[in-house]
Amino acid sequence: MKQYNILFLCTHNSSRSILGEALASTHTSGCFVGYSAGSTPGKSINPIAEELALEMGYSKTKMYSKSWDEFAKPDAPQMDFIITVCDSAANEECPVWIGHPATAHWGFPDPSKVEGSDDDKRKAFKSVMNGLKQKIDAFALLPLEKLDHASIENELRKLAST
């Protein structure tokens, strides 16, 4: 089975994009290798996002905030799909990606901005995680090897509204 590289982009690469990377990489289909990056990466991963990713079985050593510029370099892994997960990253000028991957925007509210109890904050992160999981699950069911670039991009974008 072919594995597809999928890059999740967010502004700070500390919460939503990290969850996307972990979900894709640990997906039961085995068809994705997840990556994440940010336009202005933060200094650390949000502790709740890290905890949830670790619960999925994702390696702590793979979780760190990094610039999306790392994935525009000639020696970077070539991405098949790029998904922005926050509104600010969707509107920013992105690098030119090697191989012209299919792109889409799956917007989620920033769970790190939720105020309240630790339980309230964790619920916000789980809501984003569950939303991403639903979209990744649906994407994994598609016959990707039989679809052309335009069809894949269309399917990715349709998932934004689910």
Yes or no: is domain 4-161 CATH 3.30.110.40? Answer: no
> What does the block give as tokens for 11?
């502004």
- Classified as helix, coil or strand, 70 is helix
Per residue in 13-70, pLDDT tens? 999 999 999 999 999 999 999 999 998 898 999 999 999 999 999 999 999 999 998 9
pLDDT at 161: 87
Strand, helix or coil for residue 127: helix
Cβ atoms within 10 Å of 81's Cβ, excluding its own: 20
Q: What is the DSSP letter of 27?
A: -
